[in-house]
Chain A
Amino acid sequence: GAGVSQSPRYKVAKRGQDVALRCDPISGHVSLFWYQQALGQGPEFLTYFQNEAQLDKSGLPSDRFFAERPEGSVSTLKIQRTQQEDSAVYLCASSLKGQPQHFGDGTRLSIL
């Protein structure tokens, strides 16, 4: 597709379960970002990939959060042992390096 694709669109999980969120960036975009957006707030940076290298993970809130981009295209954000405070919209964005980021529709995660 032409844009950034994220799946699933919605995810409901019970507290303590593991979840995996997928991001398919725009073809050719070397930069990939994950953001977390709490209700009524602006997105907050989680992690950054340049191709397959994770160069910045300073925004990951705990060691329960893990991201990968093994072949430099599709990326997965995994959250282990989910907690209620993990409920948020998770946004993926991609770009050519230093250029404006293009965002997906996000995955709305609800932890019960």
Chain B
Amino acid sequence: AQKVTQAQTEISVVEKEDVTLDCVYETRDTTYYLFWYKQPPSGELVFLIRRNSFDEQNEISGRYSWNFQKSTSSFNFTITASQVVDSAVYFCALSEAASGTYKYIFGTGTRLKVLA
């Protein structure tokens, strides 16, 4: 069955520290997509990145980087030199091509608190 696990419920760091948010997924589909979204206190889910199952290249975007490893079914997210504005709940999600709808299966989220 499909599942996304974010074992870290809450993480607190001091500004400028690096922090990694873990995501482990389960799927039987060979074609799938993985996502990270940010949910600030306002509530809107903000898209950060999508990776497909055939592309294991790591990606860097500014202070953000993502490590996709199919061997361990993980898609981890690292914020370098964290800032207070990074404080939010971060969700990892899975979408399977076989669903036909590309609906998301979300993890339970990791609340990140960056302290000044």
The interface of chain A, by Cβ under 8 A from chain B, is 31, 33, 35, 40-45, 48, 50, 55-56, 59, 89, 91, 93, 95, 97-98, 100-106, 108
Contacts and interface: CB of A to CB of B under 8 A. Distances in A.
Contacts of B47: 100-102
Which of B42, B93, B102 gathers the greatest number of chain A CB atoms within 10 Å?
B102
Contacts of A56: 99-101, 103
Given A45-B104, A89-B43, A100-B50, 6 more contacts: A31-B102, A41-B109, A42-B108, A48-B103, A103-B46, A108-B43
B104 A101 contact: yes
Contacts of B35: 100
Interface of B: 4, 35, 37, 42-47, 50, 91, 93, 99-109
Given A42-B91, A100-B47, A100-B50, A105 B103 contact: no
A105 B105 contact: no
A41 B91 CA distance: 10
Contact of A105 (B43, B100, B109): B43
A43 B104 contact: yes
A107 to B, nearest CB: 10
B44 A103 contact: yes
B101 A55 contact: yes
